Amino acid sequence: MQKQTPTAPSMQAHAMESIRFIRETIERTTPFTMVPGKGMVLLGISAIVTDFFAVRQPTSFLWLLAWCIDAVFAASVGVYLMQRKAARARVSLLSSNARKFFISLCTPIFAGAVLTYVLFHANETDLLPGTWLLLYGAGVITGGSFSVKIVPVMGICFVVLGCLALLTPPAWGHWFMVVGFGILHIIFGSFIARRYGG
């Protein structure tokens, strides 16, 4: 019996499937490097400016409002600069590692938003700086597991600051915010910009 040779369309389909498999494998094993270093520096400066105005507000609501505005600004700038960096590198923000990065980062941040609402209505705003730093750090650690090694290190620093903020006098809270959201972002952002661009 004569052995049948594969037809051209079936060979092409097999080749395309192989290419797709290789591309997906590379995406899974390649760290997500689209974290914008210069953007982090900008967010750090923004946080320091925000703290300067926030601590001078006469009510806890206005203090919280100042930080919420900064959070919206930070998220918007971060996503925009990440998109620009990805476009320059011709990398998709819908890749497997990018999706894992965003889900892992955003879940603890969502938890922080819920706790913000709960703590504010319970008149426990003194706990917010530590809570924010702790949960943001947790998000950076988990999201950073799909990124370059320096990102989880930054997350660990945020977690340590969050723990300290929750265990020290409430009046120190805003200084921990300056060190975390301000100085740490500037330091790590500068390193990422030099090492990985953007």
Is 132 contained in some domain?
yes
Is 2 contained in some domain?
no
- Count of structural domains, the chain: 1
Is 149 contained in some domain?
yes
pLDDT (tens digit, 9 = 90+) per residue, 179-191?
Answer: 999 999 999 989 8
Is 61 contained in some domain?
yes
pLDDT (tens digit, 9 = 90+) per residue, 67-81?
Answer: 999 999 998 988 888
CB burial of 13-27 (b: ≥16 within 10 Å; e: otherwise) equals eeeeeeeeeeeeeeb
pTM above 0.85, yes or no: no
Is 16 contained in some domain?
no
Domain containing 101 equals 35-196
Is 74 contained in some domain?
yes
